[in-house]
Structure formats: structure tokens, C-alpha cells
């Protein structure tokens, strides 16, 4: 269950303030400051007095982000002396901060220790500032780094998730895989990135809200804790398919737009085909989670028949069905 303590409100506000400072900064120093503010307010959100796993995660997170921030700070002063190489260093430090592929190793263990609400923030909000900064420093040299990181993220996310049985790790690898698509999106244009990111956040929200309401941390729990009302089962199934990008659902459309951008700006088809193949692989491990929810007649323990499902959870999953409303837009436009 999502329990917000009073200090959470305070730190959420400073977290968002740090984010806003970072994305609207005009100098690298202010950007660094914003990112630090963001980091410093996320640490107290992570830690909890009940057990020590969140503290461990918070420590790991802090160390990695501090490394990223310090190299960012170094690169921004380096820009005075070396006019070319510093962009690569900035890019690498930002990739480290988002958890994109060659620097992704911290993300699954950190996610494993924290609660679903914090996982959600880590997967979505914490990525906005670094990614939007990456789109500012694209040069020929750095775009090569970006492309290789995108390809690596897609592959690592797809292959790494295959032998995971813990839902938080599966979502962490899915987030790494989606980073591959988002890095491809920023090398096309920023709007595309914003669209992809929003769709990804909404779908993740719908998956996380179901997992969080039932406290599901292992894929066996999907079968045994009995997400009792059938609608919830369907919603979990559809949200996961949507995360994998199966056509009529929300997750498909940003992918389709990405393919179209690849076609119209004549980017490499090899890159695209790696992204698509990795999307298929991720769909496979999402399906492993979803399948157990779809075996309609399953064992039910008596306590699991009581349901305390809020409407919010169901309505957030309905977001995945939103493409069904697109024809209405067509009607309005005619």
C-alpha cells in the first residue's frame, strides 16, 4: 500500500524543484546544482526505518549518482580547455545517471531494495533531467556514443530480463530496454522523446499501481496472491502487453511513431531492427508474468477473496485502452 509520510511531501517538492532547475538551467553549473538537489531529496524518500534494504539501495544509489555528478562537474569545467572531448564525458556521466546500458548495473539491485512507489519515481521522474540534458549536447562524436548506448541498452534490457523472476527486477530491465528507445528518440527529436517518455510513464504507472496494491514482488505471487477480481487480472495482462508494445494498446503507438521517424530521417535500419527484436524479447518476459494472471480459474485462498481495490488502480490501467478513443479525434477533425 502506498503510505505517504509527512516528510515525503516535503522531499517530493524539492525533488521536483531540483528537476525543474536542472531542465531550465542555462549553465552546466546550475544543471549540476539541480541534479544534486534532486538526488539529495530522493535519498530520504528511499530510506525507511522498517527494514534495512531501502537503506542499502539508497547508499548504492547515492554513490553512483555522486560519481555521475562529480564527473559532470569535472566535464563542465573541462569545457573551458577541451572543446571536443568534454561533451563525451558529459554524455557518459548522464548515461550513468539514467542507468543506460554500459552503466546499467546499479539499476536492478537498487530497484530490488525499494518500494513500488519509489521504483516508479526512479523509473520515470528521475530520468527526465538527464535525458533532456543529453538532447542538448548532441554532436557527431557524441551521437556515436549515443547510438551504441541505445543499442546496448535495448539488448541488455531484453536479455537481462529473461532469467529474472522478481517483478521489480523485471521492471528494471524493462526500463533499461525502454532507455534504448528513448535514446533513439532524442537523437531524432525532442518531441518524439517527450511522447515516448509520457507513454512509457503512463504504462509503467498502470503496471506499478497493480503490483503495488497487491504487494507483488515475485512472479509466483501473481498466481498465488490471487488478484481476485477478474477485471484486475485483465488489466494487469493488458498493461503488460502494452508495456511490450502489442498493437492496439497505448505502448504500440510511440513505437510506431519511432519507426516512422527512423524511416523519414533515414536512420540505420540495423539499429531499428535491433530495437524491434529487443522489444519482442521483452514481450516474452512480460508474458511470463502475465500468463499466470490469465489462467482464469486458479486456486483461491479465502482471505484473498476480500478485495480492497481502489478505483484509481483500475482507472490508471484504462489508460492503456486509450487508443480506442483515437477514432473520436478523427471524428472531431472531420
Partner 1 sequence: MLKYLFLGVLMIFAVSEWNVLQALVFVGSFLFIFSLGGGFHFNNLSLGLGVDWVSYILILLSFWIVALVVKSSQKISDTYNFEILFLFTCVALLVSLIMTFCCTDYLLFYICFESSLIPTLILILGWGYQPERVQAGIYMLFYTLFGSLPLLVSFLLMYSVNGSLTFNLAAACSSVGFVSFIWYFCTFFAFAVKLPMFTVHLWLPKAHVEAPVSGSMVLAGVLLKLGGYGMIRVSSMFLGVGREMSFGWLSLGLMGGSIVSVMCLRQTDMKALIAYSSVAHMGLVLCGLMLFSLVGVGGAVVVMVGHGLCSSCLFCLTNMVYERVGSRSMSVSKGLLSFMPSMSLWWFLLSAGNMAAPPTLNLLGEINLIMGVVSWSKSCFLGVACLSFFSAAYTLYMFSTSQHGKYFSSLFSCCSGQVREYLVLMLHWLPLNMVILNQVCYYMCS
| Residue 319 lies near partner 1 (rule: CB under 8 A) | no
Is there a contact between 271 and 151 (Cβ–Cβ < 8 Å)? yes
Q: Is 280 in the site for partner 1 (CB under 8 A)?
A: yes
294 binds partner 1 (CB under 8 A): yes
Instruction: Report, in Å, the least distance between residue 47 CB and partner 1.
Output: 40
| Interaction pattern, residues 182-221, with partner 1; x per rule: CB under 8 A | ----------------------------------------
* CA–CA separation, 312 and 206 (whole Å): 10
Pick the binder of partner 1 from 210, 238, 274, 289 (CB under 8 A): 238
Residue 196: CB minimum distance to partner 1, A = 16
Q: Given phi > 0 = left and psi -120 to 50 = alpha, else beta, which region is 113?
A: alpha
Here the cell at position 206 is: 498502470
- Smallest distance, Å, CB 250 to partner 1? 12
**Nearer to partner 1 (CB atom), residue 63 or residue 280:** 280
Contacts of 231 (CB under 8 A, 6+ apart): 314
CB 161 within 8 A of CB 244: no
Phi, psi (degrees; rounded to nearest 5) at 217: -120, -5
Using an 8 Å Cβ cutoff, are 249 and 325 in contact?
no
What span, in angstroms and rounded, lies between the C-alpha atoms of 101 and 148? 9
Size of the site for partner 1 (CB under 8 A): 32
- The three grid cell numbers given for residue 84, joined into one nine-digit string: 571536443
* 296 contacts partner 1 (rule: CB under 8 A): yes
Residue 328 interacts with partner 1 (CB under 8 A): yes or no: no
Gap between the Cα atoms of 259 and 64, Å rounded: 33
Contact between 259 and partner 1 per CB under 8 A: yes
Is residue 229 a contact residue for partner 1 (CB under 8 A)? no
Part of the chain binding partner 1 (CB under 8 A), chosen from 8-16, 152-160, 178-186, 280-288: 280-288
Interface with partner 1 (CB under 8 A), residue from 29, 53, 284, 312: 284
- C-beta separation of 9 from 76 below 8 A: no
Q: Least Å distance between CB 246 and partner 1? A: 6
Interface pick for partner 1 out of 260, 307, 310, 315 (rule CB under 8 A): 260
| Residue that has been written with the C-alpha cell 521489480 in this structure | 168
**DSSP three-state, residue 29:** helix
Nearest distance from C-beta of residue 232 to partner 1, angstroms: 12
DSSP 167-201: HHHHHHHHHHHHHHHHHHHHHH-HHHHHHHHHHHH
**For partner 1, the closer CB: 122 or 258:** 258
Note the residues at the interface with partner 1 (CB under 8 A): 230, 234, 237-238, 241, 246-249, 252, 256, 259-260, 263-264, 269, 272, 276, 279-280, 283-284, 287, 291, 294-297, 327, 330-331, 334
Amino acid at each position: 500500500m502506498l503510505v505517504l509520510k509527512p516528510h515525503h511531501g516535503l522531499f517530493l517538492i524539492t525533488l521536483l524543484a531540483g528537476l525543474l532547475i536542472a531542465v531550465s538551467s542555462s549553465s552546466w553549473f546550475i544543471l549540476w546544482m539541480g541534479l544534486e538537489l534532486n538526488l539529495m531529496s530522493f535519498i530520504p524518500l528511499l530510506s525507511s526505518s522498517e527494514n534495512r534494504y531501502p537503506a542499502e539501495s539508497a547508499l548504492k544509489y547515492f554513490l553512483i549518482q555522486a560519481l555521475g555528478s562529480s564527473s559532470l562537474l569535472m566535464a563542465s569545467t573541462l569545457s573551458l580547455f577541451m572543446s571536443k572531448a568534454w561533451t563525451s564525458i558529459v554524455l557518459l556521466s548522464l548515461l550513468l545517471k539514467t542507468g543506460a546500458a554500459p552503466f546499467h548495473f546499479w539499476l536492478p539491485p537498487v530497484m530490488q531494495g525499494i518500494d513500488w512507489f519509489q521504483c516508479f519515481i526512479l523509473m520515470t521522474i528521475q530520468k527526465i533531467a538527464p535525458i533532456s540534458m543529453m538532447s542538448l549536447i548532441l554532436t557527431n562524436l557524441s551521437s556515436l556514443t549515443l547510438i551504441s548506448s541505445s543499442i546496448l541498452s535495448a539488448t541488455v534490457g531484453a536479455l537481462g530480463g529473461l532469467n529474472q523472476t522478481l517483478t521489480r527486477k523485471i521492471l528494471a530491465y524493462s526500463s533499461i530496454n525502454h532507455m534504448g528507445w528513448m535514446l533513439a528518440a532524442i537523437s531524432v527529436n525532442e518531441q518524439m522523446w517527450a511522447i515516448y517518455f509520457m507513454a512509457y510513464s503512463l504504462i509503467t504507472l498502470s503496471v506499478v499501481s497493480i503490483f503495488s496494491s497487491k504487494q507483488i514482488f515475485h512472479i509466483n505471487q501473481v498466481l498465488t496472491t490471487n488478484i481476485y477480481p477478474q477485471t484486475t487480472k485483465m488489466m494487469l495482462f493488458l498493461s503488460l502487453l502494452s508495456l511490450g508494445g502489442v498493437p492496439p494498446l497505448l505502448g504500440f503507438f510511440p513505437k510506431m511513431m519511432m519507426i516512422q521517424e527512423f524511416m523519414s530521417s533515414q536512420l540505420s535500419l540495423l539499429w531499428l531492427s535491433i530495437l524491434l527484436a529487443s522489444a519482442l524479447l521483452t514481450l516474452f518476459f512480460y508474458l511470463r508474468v502475465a500468463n499466470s494472471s490469465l489462467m482464469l480459474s486458479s486456486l483461491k485462498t479465502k482471505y484473498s477473496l476480500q478485495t480492497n481495490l481502489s478505483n484509481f488502480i483500475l482507472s490508471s490501467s484504462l489508460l492503456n485502452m486509450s487508443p480506442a478513443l483515437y477514432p473520436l479525434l478523427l471524428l472531431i477533425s472531420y
